[in-house]
Chains A and B, each alone.
Chain A
């Protein structure tokens, strides 16, 4: 099954490689990986979609946390979330047949962002299935699909946020330590 992980990682050189290398080592295939700035200075937000068994979630999270630069890992595969992907799709279209494409674009509520004598470029934001749907319909139509650029999954839990990270960064490490001390098992290292 496909798992979706949202990880907060240090915004430092090489961190992306460390995460990618970890998935390689665990022999897990990454479907898509997006990374960009987050709401916290110094932290990047990484969204990884990967193919693994249901039980593998625990191991993936546990292994990610073993990387020094990983601050928080959330498995939101099953969680209610808002998911979007951005796609730019270039289609071969001449003035004679481009109106058919215009109609499709309107049905899918996408936008035309480039128009040239022999091609046009569509921008679509939506859930993966909608983008897949548009691509499929375009493929079945007259114009050839020339180029597709997809961003990969962007996703965010509805309502509840990954508060552990916010706490750790805004109130300082000690607060997080304090929280853990209240749990049964934490022992302050030397």
Chain B
């Protein structure tokens, strides 16, 4: 536990250590047990010192993988993830992973080596201005060229990463700083208390207004986002919903914050959200946004978004208020704190939500009939079948790490998450290649949990080299590839909006099973629905990692869809004439 290591580090008397040793000693003090990285010349002193410290290092195959692993580790555990890379290309390879963490507000600390401070700025071998490059994609970053500054910078980095709205922080340490020596005093390196954002405040008048709006609302909806999980406010949101009888719509990153089976949970909203959820939002007279940022995937065109609704926006980041959607009552603060202050003002006897809930039920109407998993088996394999069966067989309890694309949306629609931190997916940046390394990070965070990768054939190939990492570390991860021979989501857009001009979307892939076997990992190809359950069970019961190559219907599209420029309620629905008619 962080606290024990903390205490241990601080009760040790200050000693003279090398910069490299200080790096690890500080990480140990911050409670770090796992790091993900790739060595190189400029970070070699740090790697040389690792053997003296009780931290497990996972060697990746590409630094992008290291960043995603730190990210997945953090999403699964709630702790700060850590990755390490060398200078130049090592550092630049981290950038995609850092940006992924930035857009989803995930706390990670990235440590990079740099050339000696004496040659900084001279275009030395493998030198790059990584602090300059990562300025827009980190909460903050540091360039450390003195040994005595290392500990304080790393401690400060951890504080920044996890405070207020979490995010990635980079610490760049020159080689001579790593090689020098300094007195290491963990306690003395503690940063000043967090300076709260001066615009972060909510007042009694705001709470009163919000409570009043809730009391009088006829058609309220709670919009539940990632902030609920980061703040740990799951119980408070549930209480608000239950007490005031308000239905809840989820963002992609909010899935799992409220159990999918909860009677008030409507499901996911937005571009590929369920149709009744989007209709409910467009008809609502009050929206209570909890830890969500009105992202464009969720709103459709802003001019037509929920025009009949008053909006309460609870968020810890003042910069999100009125950024895209004008709100009526902003409550800027930590979600848990705000709700704790708001709940006493919400009476259990104030509202009768039944009428509105019934209305939403009736909108649901014929959606069930169109739903693909209800349709009879016509021999074709659909991604929805695959995900539905994985959900069923795992009891809905696995940690599922998706890549990006159609399969990601189907996962959100068909795998019903009951717990927070069980869906790990790149929402804000939408980074293909995220899934395999992020799953490795998640497995290290939760070694006793069942971890599944669900990826498309496109995304999987972007970081498939990390199969070697799985083999080397000997960890158990189940990998499901939704293989349709296309960059599916792009193909879907080309089908809908570019007259089926499938430019650069048909994809020739390796035989994924052979690829897995080449890495020492077992695999199976699945072509029909009948083989599905067996294959999933085979994968689960195999002692090591297992890859399932699902050859699914090539030109299936994700429905519903809110296309660019459309209002949230103007969804493209699955065609009524059913492509799956029994022959």
The answer on a CB contact under 8 Å between B193 and A18 is no
The answer on a CB contact under 8 Å between A185 and B197 is no
A18 to B139, CA, bound (A): 11
Asked if A14 lies at the interface with its beta carbon under 8 angstroms from chain B, I say yes
Stretch of B128-136, B398-406, B415-423 that contacts chain A: B128-136
Q: Given A21-B136, A63-B319, are A185 and B199 also a contact pair (CB < 8 Å)?
A: no
The answer on a CB contact under 8 Å between A65 and B318 is yes
Max chain B Cβ within 10 angstroms of own Cβ: one of A25, A66, A67? A66
B531 to chain A, nearest CB (A): 49
> A59-102 CB contact bits vs B (8 Å, 1 = yes)?
10111011110001000000000000000000000000000000
A159 to chain B, nearest CB (A): 22
The answer on a CB contact under 8 Å between B135 and A59 is no
Q: Which chain A residues in 1-39 approach chain B with CB under 8 Å?
A: 14, 17-18, 21-22, 24-25
Asked if A133 lies at the interface with its beta carbon under 8 angstroms from chain B, I say no
> B143-175 CB contact bits vs A (8 Å, 1 = yes)?
100000000000000001001000000000000
The answer on a CB contact under 8 Å between A184 and B321 is no
B433 to chain A, nearest CB (A): 24
Q: Given A55-B322, A68-B140, A164-B198, are A185 and B132 also a contact pair (CB < 8 Å)?
A: no
Q: Given A65-B198, A68-B140, A184-B204, are A189 and B163 also a contact pair (CB < 8 Å)?
A: yes
A21 to B319, CA, bound (A): 16
Q: Which chain A positions have C-beta within 8 A of B355? A: none
A177 to B131, CA, bound (A): 31
Asked if A108 lies at the interface with its beta carbon under 8 angstroms from chain B, I say no
Closest residue of chain A to B334 (Cβ to Cβ) is A187
Asked if A147 lies at the interface with its beta carbon under 8 angstroms from chain B, I say no
> A153-179 CB contact bits vs B (8 Å, 1 = yes)?
000000000001000000001000100
Q: Which chain A positions have C-beta within 8 A of B318? A: 58, 62, 65
A53 to B358, CA, bound (A): 42
The answer on a CB contact under 8 Å between A62 and B197 is yes
Q: Given A62-B199, A65-B197, are A185 and B131 also a contact pair (CB < 8 Å)?
A: no
The answer on a CB contact under 8 Å between A184 and B203 is yes
The answer on a CB contact under 8 Å between B319 and A185 is no
Q: Which chain B positions have C-beta within 8 A of A183? A: 201
A67 to B323, CA, bound (A): 18
B456 to chain A, nearest CB (A): 30
The answer on a CB contact under 8 Å between A62 and B319 is yes
> B96-140 CB contact bits vs A (8 Å, 1 = yes)?
000000000000000000000000000000000001100110011
Q: Which chain B positions have C-beta within 8 A of A140? A: none
The answer on a CB contact under 8 Å between A173 and B337 is no
Asked if B194 lies at the interface with its beta carbon under 8 angstroms from chain A, I say yes
Q: Which chain B positions have C-beta within 8 A of A22? A: 136
The answer on a CB contact under 8 Å between B192 and A173 is yes
Max chain A Cβ within 10 angstroms of own Cβ: one of B139, B143, B196, B199? B196
The answer on a CB contact under 8 Å between B201 and A186 is yes
Q: Which chain A positions have C-beta within 8 A of B197? A: 62, 65-66
Asked if B391 lies at the interface with its beta carbon under 8 angstroms from chain A, I say no
A187 to B131, CA, bound (A): 32
Asked if A188 lies at the interface with its beta carbon under 8 angstroms from chain B, I say yes
A184 to B319, CA, bound (A): 20
B250 to chain A, nearest CB (A): 26
Residue numbers of B with Cβ under 8 A of A are: 131-132, 135-136, 139-140, 143, 160, 163, 192-204, 317-319, 321-323, 333-334, 337, 341
Question: Can you list 23 A-B contacts with CB-CB less than 8 angstroms, sorted by A residue number?
Answer: A17-B132, A21-B135, A22-B136, A59-B322, A65-B197, A65-B199, A65-B318, A66-B139, A66-B197, A66-B317, A66-B319, A68-B139, A173-B192, A173-B195, A177-B193, A183-B201, A185-B333, A185-B337, A185-B341, A186-B196, A186-B201, A189-B193, A189-B194
